[in-house]
Every structure is written in C-alpha cells, then in structure tokens.
C-alpha cells in the first residue's frame, strides 16, 4: 500500500529552504572535485596555474600500469559488490525476522576493527592457508577481503529500510497461500529494491576506494587504483593523479546519467 | 476454523520461516567466520606473543602487551579520539539528515541526486584530502579569495588543527549517513505526514514530531557507520591535522608500521574494539522483528 | 586471476613468441623512470612487473611471508641485516655482475655488507633543511630550526628517527640515539620545538615550501631537489652539526624463482648510461661512480644531491637501535605527539 508519491515540491513552503541547503551541501561535496578537475588541465606540475594543457591525460593513458590498476579496481569492486549485496540482503532479511546475537556481534566486529588490523589479520590468515595449498595473494584474496568488510554496510542499510516496513504484509501474503519464499520474493523484495540499490552503491564505493586492506592482501598482479594513486600522490602533487580521477568521475557520472535516463523511460 | 488457521500459521512461522532464515544467514555466517573470526583469533593470539626484532611475532608468550595498556597516556589518546569521532558524527547527522530529506522528496530525480552525493567519492580519498589541503592552506584558494575580497588581512589558519580534521572526517563520511537515512525516509508513509498536517501541525512540527522519530532506524544506522570509522581513521587526521596530535587510529597504525610492535598493536586494537563493542551493547537488544535498534 | 590467464594466453597466441620471461620488481616510488624500465624490457625481452612502496616497513610487510611473488626489492641499508636474519635475502654471486666495477669507490665495501654478498648499493640520500632562499639569515644548522623567527612556518619530518636525530644533533650527540638518556633528552628537545612547528610532514610538504606556506622544512635531499626544480629560489642545506645518511640497495629475495633474470636486472641498473638516465629522470644521488663521471657537469648543477666533498663527512649512517631502545623511542614519540 503506497500512498501517493510526493507532491510537487513547489507547493511546500519549506522546500525552498531545503533546496537551497541541498545546493550548498552539494557545492561542499563537489568543491575538491572541481579543484581536481581544474588542476588536471594545468600545464604545471605544481599548484601554480601555468596554462591549459592535456598532457597529464596523455600521460595517464600511456601509463600501462595505471590503466591495469583501474581495470583491477573495477573488477574487484563489481565482484565484491555483487557478493556482498547478495549475502548482506539475505542476512538483513533473516535478522529482521528474528534477531541473532551471534550474527549481530559478528557484523559489529567487522565494523569496529581498524582497517590495519583487518589487513594484518587477513594477511596472516591467508599466509597460513597458503602453507597447505599452492595459492598466492591475488585478485581473489582482494575480492574476499572486500566482500567481508562490505557486508556489514549492506546489512545496516537494508535492515534500516526493512525496519520501516510493515511485517504484516508478508503475513498477509502467506495467509493468501504464498510460501515464505514467495512472500519474500514477491512482496518484500520489490519494496526493498531502493534500499538494496542504496546499499549496493555504498558497497561499490567502499570497495573501489579501499586502500589499507587492499594493499595488504593484494598480490603481485593485483594492484588496484587506490594503491597506484597512493604511491603517486604521496610524493606530492601529481597531475596525472588528478587526470585519472577526473576521468573516472566523468565516466561514472556519464554512466549514472545514462542509467537515470533509461530508468525514467 | 480461525484457531486452526492461526495454529498453522504459528507452526509455519516457527519451522518454515526458520528454514529459510537459516539458509539466508549462511553465506554471511560463513564469510564472517572464515574471514573475520579466524583472522581475529590469530590477532588475539598475537596479543600474547612477543614482537620479533624487526616486526612480526615470535612465539614467546607474555602478558606484557596487555599490561602496557594500563598507561594513562593511551587512555588520554582514546578519549581525544572519541571526542573527535562524536563531534564528527553530530555534524554528519546535522548535515546529512536535511540532505537525505531533500533527496527523498525529489520525485523523479531521486536517483540522480543520490548518485551526486556519491560521485566525488569515486576519486581516491587521498586525492580528495590533498584537494582539501590545497583549499585550506595559507596560500590556498579560500584564504586567497578572502584576502582578495579584503575580508581578512592575514591568512586564516585553516589547516593543521582539529577544525581541519573535523572537516575532513565529515566530508569523507557524509555519504555513510545520507544513504541509510535516505533508505529509511524513502519508505516513509506519506499519509502519516498528511494526517499530521490535517490535524493542524505546521511543517516544522511535522518534521520534528513525525518525520524525525520515524527515521530513527536510519539515523542510528548512519551514526554507527560514521562514528566507528571516524574513531579508527588515521590518514585524514594525520594529513589534515599535520601530525601534531596523535589519535588512536594513528597509534595503532604506528604499531604495525614504524614501531613494528605487532603484539602491542594487536592489544591496542583489541582494547579499542572492546570499548566500542561495549558501548554498542545497549543498542543491540535481542528483540523481535522491528524491535532491535541497530543490527 | 582467470582474466589474467585468458589475456596472457591471447597475447601468447597472438604470436608474441615462445616463453615470456617475467621479473617482479618492488621499489621505492620515483626511483626508476618508466623509460628505463621499457628500455630494459626492450633490450632483454624480459617483461617487468613493477610496483612501488613508500616505506621499508611496507616493503617488509609485503615480503615477510616468504611467499609474496616478488623477486627484487630495494631495502635501505639498515634493513639489510634484519632481512638477512629473517632469511629473506638471497646470496648474490657478484662475479656475475659485469658492471659491478661502476660502483663508486665509497660504496664498494659498505659497512652494512662489506663483501656485497647480499645487496648492491643503488642510491643514497641524506636529511637536511629545505628553505626559502630569500630568508635571511639562511638556516644552516639544526639549531637554527629551534628559533622563534620561524614560528608557524616550520615543519619537521613525521618520523621519530628523523626528528630525534635532528634533536640529538643540536645537543651534540650522535644521530642514532645510543642509550636511554640520549633518547629522553632528544624528546625534551623536540618538545621545545613543537610549538614552533606548523606540522610534522613528509614528502607532502614539498608543495607547501614551493608555494610559500612553509619557510623551512626538514626534508630528504631527493625530495628537496624536486622542489628546487620547480622553484629555483629554494635552497637546501646540509646542517653543520651533522645529519643522517641512508643508502638504498638492490637485493634479491630468497623466494625468487628467477635469480638469473634478477641478476641481469641488477647488472642493467649498474650500467653507467642507465644509472645516468635514472639520475636525470628521477633526480636522485647515485652510488654509481661511472654514472657520475658520465654526467660530469650536470652533477655540478645538483649541489643538493651531490654536495661538496667535505660535506658528507659530517653525515652519520642511520642504524637500527636495540629492541629496548626502539620501544622507548616509539613511546617517547607517542608522548611527543600527544603533548
């Protein structure tokens, strides 16, 4: 039972304040991004404007390793998001039905652990395993690590949304003859979809941007973009870093616009 | 007839529901046990070992690492870190809630606005932090503009203090607040708001007494998702705080890097995690559906 | 992993020839320019996998397992002994290095590995003061950095070794704290300086000195050179009381399955022309004497990296203290930071 979708915002008096506020916050969020973009086309290596130039973009594309790192990051983020969202949504649903102290404790633990400790612990764990199996660190270990620390975020977001839902809907469905699986799939899941979407978005972002844990469990061939950027940026302003960041944002931004357009249709 | 039906329902809920539920919990359970439980056990074991001369651990059992924790120096650091994290969380709450509200009311453009919140975060967080350093420096953009406009005569010390650290933390963790709150608000039953308005409540009252309480799950979730990472943050406080003060995240980080004292670092982390978990205990009540506050 | 195999097999099928040789090299960032890496690949047909790190600890964490997949690493000199003790390094057969003679005389029998059995010196550096040349008078000693006139425009490195080292120098003691009282005195001295500091920063401070936010910074010579390249009004000083010296060395990991290829890489780096290209590209101070001869007058133009002969006498090689002293040092560092 969904009440009417939102009334046009112009009719609400406080909406103008809200809109102004939103604009300010978006400016705040995007200001560093604008700076990045501007300096990605700065001819000088340092933060003094010396004229317009695209040389850093050219350099970024010439850098094989940078391109490969980006690809690795995308692969890892997509895989990790898929698994984490799946596991997390199911887990959140189960917790919604009936709380589980162990599960809650486990999830809380994964959230509370400092990144360096997660990294060290996973490294130690993998090395221990690798003594018995002929494996090395690689993209697979990175994906595993990312799934592990993303799950709690997915669960939190999805559960928060579930808590706003009326559990009697499912019961009504079951009264009408549906199995619990059908009730879940046909009733709860569709209503949950935006929450799952938000959770997946969060998981993807966390995974794509992770440095500390990734650097500890990555293997020889699995350098990700944050690792590459970290190495470059740590030595001082490097416009290639700005260039590649701008490219990624432009790419993702375009993808979003396109997907929004498609969804509106 | 009705009694029989409700008995069937009860049975179904007990056994049928449980079967599905166990299945649903399995992937996450396996994940956590294998990739969190076992590694954590290893780290816990580390706390009782001795540091290797150059890093790592040697198998010499000791309680020394735990005894070192009793030092008031570390308690002071922990306290400072809690304060910083708490203030950051409050700011995120204050800034994030109206934004989430705006997005949830935006109609068709909801998805777009949501994505716009996330967009800056696909750049490396290190790069974003450096951008902030550029903005806040004495010769940075903000000071330059203010000086040119004649609003100030000396550059403002915007960088390398707690203010800059808070700014960086709030900036980095705002989406972690916005997303859960949005997820809650989006689902909100509008008819409740209309009912309140019909009963004579002004928009602000509706907000304060209807919307806010209803979005509590999201707010609580967001608060946790912001507070905890802020507590363990080290890069942002280091870069924006100029390394002049040490917070618990940096302290732990140091133990695993420059100090090369893994056992002590493990003990510190365990202590930190323990304190946080204790704080979260009252929030994680074992209630029925829709009852538990957080997870 | 599967993607890699797939791509490799496609590349192989596309006629890239028989077996592809691979070498995995882990190095400090900005220590080999990409062109030099490509040159190696072209000349030898060996494909390089090249990753970078920012600190010895990071490198150690990655290779400590003995099963990391890396072949060649570049530890700083005071890490050679520890890595030997941890059985991480492979013994070198230097008779296979044709270009070993190119090494500068002062690096042929280094204190940390006199017979060059474990490593080959690569680049060296020192910690000094980068400052705005327009400052008068210019800072020439560590003690200068304790003066009020730099209030708020001074930075030191975010590293206990460097900060305590400089403090010890102002007190007339050795850069490497030898005992408890040394370290405690260093901490007190550093505490006196802290109110003057803008921040404890590492390489990030480079941009701030260039833009003028910071007037004087404790910094490594290589990073300082990069700053001077961008802003010629900056200058670098090797403090009169003394300073810390370090040298990064090339070493082969014991776990490496390709020691032959690794030796070829080391030999390549020892070539005079290659080392000269690296110096030009990365602005570093090389241990390669033949390269220095090749660079000739260009060296004269880099006093920051290659100071006058007498200057380096004042330097002290950095050393790792005992475990007990290390622990005290880290504790004092925490106290300093929390103050």
| Residues in A touching C225 (Cβ below 8 Å) | none
Winning range, highest mean pLDDT, from A83-87, A182-186, B153-157, C281-285: A83-87
pLDDT of residue B286: 39
For residue C182, what are its two tokens?
A: 């040394």
| Residues in C touching A213 (Cβ below 8 Å) | none
For residue C86, what are its two tokens?
A: 């941890």
pLDDT of residue C72: 95
CB within 8 Å: A137 and C69: yes
Q: Do A214 and B110 contact (CB within 8 A), yes or no?
A: no
pLDDT of residue A11: 46
pLDDT value at C141 more than 70 = yes
Mean pLDDT value of segment C54-58: 81
Shortest alpha-carbon distance between residue B29 and chain C (Å): 26
Side-chain half-sphere exposure of C258, counting CA atoms within 13 A: 18
Shortest alpha-carbon distance between residue B8 and chain C (Å): 50
The structural domains of chain B, with segments of one domain joined by +, span: 69-280
| Residue among B73, B255, B257 whose CB faces C55 most closely | B257
For residue B173, what are its two tokens?
A: 């963790």
Strand C216-220 relative to strand B50-51, pairing: unpaired
How large is the C-alpha radius of gyration of chain C? 21
The C-alpha angle C87, C89, C93, rounded to 5 degrees, equals 130
Mean model confidence pLDDT for chain C: 87
The chain A residue lying nearest C34, using CA atoms, is A63
| Residues in C touching B260 (Cβ below 8 Å) | 57, 326
DSSP state of B89: H
Cα(C312)–Cα(A163) distance, rounded to whole angstroms?
69
pTM over 0.90: no
Shortest alpha-carbon distance between residue B153 and chain A (Å): 22
| Residues in C touching A136 (Cβ below 8 Å) | 67-69
pLDDT value at B58 more than 90 = no
The chains in contact with chain B, meaning 3 or more Cβ pairs closer than 8 Å, are A, C
pLDDT value at C158 more than 70 = yes
DSSP assignments along A122-183, one per residue: HHHHHHHHHTTS----SHHHHHHHHHHHHHHHHHHHHHHHHTTS-THHHHHHHHTT--HHHH
Q: Residue C154: beta bridge partners?
A: C197, C216
Shortest alpha-carbon distance between residue C72 and chain A (Å): 12
The chain C residue lying nearest A238, using CA atoms, is C207
pLDDT value at A48 more than 80 = no
Cα(C331)–Cα(C321) distance, rounded to whole angstroms?
14
For residue C314, what are its two tokens?
A: 């004042």
As a residue count, chain A comes to 265
pLDDT of residue B8: 57
Cα(C192)–Cα(C154) distance, rounded to whole angstroms?
13
Mean pLDDT value of segment B45-65: 82
pLDDT of residue C171: 92
Shortest alpha-carbon distance between residue C253 and chain A (Å): 14
pLDDT bracket for residue A234 (50, 70, 90)? low
| Residue among A209, A241, A257 whose CB faces B125 most closely | A209
| Residue among C3, C51, C53 whose CB faces A75 most closely | C3
The chain B residue lying nearest C332, using CA atoms, is B73
The chains in contact with chain A, meaning 3 or more Cβ pairs closer than 8 Å, are B, C
CB within 8 Å: B55 and C64: yes
| Residue among A47, A130, A215 whose CB faces C211 most closely | A47
Helices then strands, each counted (H, E), chain A: 12, 0
Cα(C129)–Cα(C131) distance, rounded to whole angstroms?
6
Fold of B69-280: MetI-like fold (1.10.3720)
| Residues in C touching B137 (Cβ below 8 Å) | 208, 211, 213
Nearest to C197 by CA among C162, C145, C232, C233: C145
CB atoms within 10 A of CB C66: 12
Q: Tell whether C67 lies on the interface with B, counting CB pairs under 8 A.
A: no
pLDDT of residue C71: 94
How large is the C-alpha radius of gyration of chain B? 24
pLDDT bracket for residue C42 (50, 70, 90)? very high
Shortest alpha-carbon distance between residue C6 and chain B (Å): 28
pLDDT of residue B283: 61
Nearest to B104 by CA among B17, B1, B223, B190: B190
| Residues in B touching A184 (Cβ below 8 Å) | 20
Side-chain half-sphere exposure of C161, counting CA atoms within 13 A: 20
Cite the DSSP H helix spans in chain C: 2-13, 34-44, 56-63, 80-85, 160-170, 180-193, 205-211, 221-230, 259-270, 272-282, 289-295, 297-300, 323-338
CB within 8 Å: C207 and A234: no
CB within 8 Å: C213 and B254: no
């Amino acid at each position: 039972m969904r009440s009417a979708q939102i009334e046009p915002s112009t009719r609400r008096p406080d909406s103008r304040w809200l809109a102004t506020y939103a604009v300010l916050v978006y400016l705040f969020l995007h200001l560093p991004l604008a700076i990045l973009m501007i300096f990605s086309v700065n001819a000088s290596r340092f933060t003094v404007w010396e004229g317009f130039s695209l040389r850093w973009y050219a350099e970024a594309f010439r850098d094989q390793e940078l391109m490969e790192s980006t690809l690795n990051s995308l692969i890892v983020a997509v895989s990790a998001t898929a698994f984490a969202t799946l596991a997390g949504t199911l887990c959140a649903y189960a917790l919604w039905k009936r709380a589980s102290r162990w599960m809650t404790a486990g999830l809380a633990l994964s959230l509370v652990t400092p990144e360096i400790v997660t990294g060290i612990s996973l490294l130690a764990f993998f090395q221990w395993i690798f003594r018995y199996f002929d494996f090395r660190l690689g993209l697979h270990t990175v994906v595993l690590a990312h799934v592990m620390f993303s799950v709690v975020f997915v669960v939190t977001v999805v559960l928060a949304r579930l808590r706003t839902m009326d559990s009697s809907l499912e019961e009504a469905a079951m009264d009408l003859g549906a199995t619990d699986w059908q009730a879940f799939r046909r009733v709860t899941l569709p209503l949950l979809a935006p929450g799952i979407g938000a959770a997946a978005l969060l998981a993807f972002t966390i995974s794509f941007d992770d440095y500390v844990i990734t650097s500890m469990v990555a293997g020889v061939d699995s350098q990700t973009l944050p690792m590459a950027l970290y190495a470059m940026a740590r030595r001082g302003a490097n416009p290639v870093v700005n260039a590649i960041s701008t490219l990624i944002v432009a790419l993702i931004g375009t993808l979003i616009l396109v997907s929004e357009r498609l969804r509106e249709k | 007839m009705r009694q029989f039906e409700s008995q069937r329902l009860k049975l179904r809920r007990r056994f049928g529901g449980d079967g599905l539920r166990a299945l649903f919990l399995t992937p996450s359970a396996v994940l956590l046990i294998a990739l969190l439980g076992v590694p954590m056990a290893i780290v816990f074991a580390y706390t009782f070992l001795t540091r290797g001369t150059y890093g790592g651990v040697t198998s010499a059992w000791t309680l020394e690492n735990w005894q070192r924790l009793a030092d008031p120096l570390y308690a002071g650091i922990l306290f400072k870190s809690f304060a910083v994290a708490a203030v950051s969380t409050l700011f995120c709450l204050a800034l994030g809630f109206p934004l989430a509200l705006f997005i949830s009311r935006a109609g068709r453009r909801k998805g777009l606005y949501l994505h716009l919140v996330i967009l800056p975060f696909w750049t490396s967080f290190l790069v974003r932090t450096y951008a902030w350093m550029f903005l806040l420096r004495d010769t940075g953009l903000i000071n330059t503009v203010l000086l040119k406009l004649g609003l100030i005569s000396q550059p403002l010390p915007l960088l390398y203090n707690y203010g800059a650290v808070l700014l960086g933390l709030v900036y980095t963790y705002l989406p972690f607040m916005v997303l859960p709150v949005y997820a809650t608000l989006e689902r909100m039953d509008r008819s409740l708001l209309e009912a309140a308005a019909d009963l004579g409540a002004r928009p602000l009252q509706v907000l304060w007494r209807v919307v806010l309480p209803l979005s509590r799950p999201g707010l609580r979730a967001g608060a946790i998702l912001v507070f905890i990472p802020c507590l363990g943050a080290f890069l942002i406080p280091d870069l924006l705080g100029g390394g002049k003060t040490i917070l618990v995240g940096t302290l732990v980080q140091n133990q695993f890097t420059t100090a090369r004292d893994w056992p002590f670092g493990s003990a510190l982390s365990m202590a930190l995690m323990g304190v946080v978990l204790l704080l979260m205990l009252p929030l994680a009540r074992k209630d029925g559906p829709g009852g538990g506050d957080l997870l | 992993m599967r993607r890699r195999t797939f791509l490799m097999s496609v590349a192989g099928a596309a006629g890239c020839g028989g077996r592809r040789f691979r070498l995995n090299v882990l190095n400090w960032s900005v220590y080999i320019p990409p062109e030099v890496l490509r040159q190696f690949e072209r000349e030898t047909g060996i494909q390089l996998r090249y990753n970078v790190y920012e600190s010895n600890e990071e490198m150690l964490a990655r290779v400590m397992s003995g099963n990391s997949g890396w072949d060649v690493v570049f530890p700083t000199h005071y890490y050679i002994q520890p890595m030997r003790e941890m059985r991480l390094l492979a013994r070198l057969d230097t008779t296979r290095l044709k270009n070993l003679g190119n090494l500068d005389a002062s690096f042929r029998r280094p204190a940390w590995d006199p017979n060059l059995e474990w490593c080959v010196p690569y680049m060296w550096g020192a910690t000094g003061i980068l400052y705005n040349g327009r400052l008068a008078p210019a800072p020439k000693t560590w003690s200068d950095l304790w003066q009020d006139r730099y209030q708020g425009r001074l930075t030191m490195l975010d590293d206990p070794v460097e900060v305590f080292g400089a403090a010890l120098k102002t007190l007339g003691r050795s850069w490497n704290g030898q005992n408890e009282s040394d370290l405690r005195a260093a901490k007190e001295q550093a505490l006196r300086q802290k109110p003057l500091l803008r921040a404890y920063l590492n390489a990030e401070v480079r941009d701030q000195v260039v833009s003028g936010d910071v007037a004087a910074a404790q910094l490594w010579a290589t990073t300082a050179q990069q700053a001077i390249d961008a802003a010629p009004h900056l200058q670098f000083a090797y403090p009169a009381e003394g300073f810390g010296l370090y040298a990064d060395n090339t070493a082969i990991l014991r776990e490496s399955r390709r020691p032959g290829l690794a030796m070829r890489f080391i030999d390549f780096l020892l070539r005079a022309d290659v080392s000269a290209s690296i110096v030009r590209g990365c602005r570093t101070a090389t241990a390669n004497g033949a390269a220095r001869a090749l660079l000739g007058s260009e060296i004269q133009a880099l006093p920051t990296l290659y100071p006058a002969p007498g200057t380096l006498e004042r330097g002290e090689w950095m050393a790792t203290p005992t475990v007990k002293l290390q622990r005290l040092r880290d504790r004092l560092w925490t106290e300093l930071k929390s103050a």
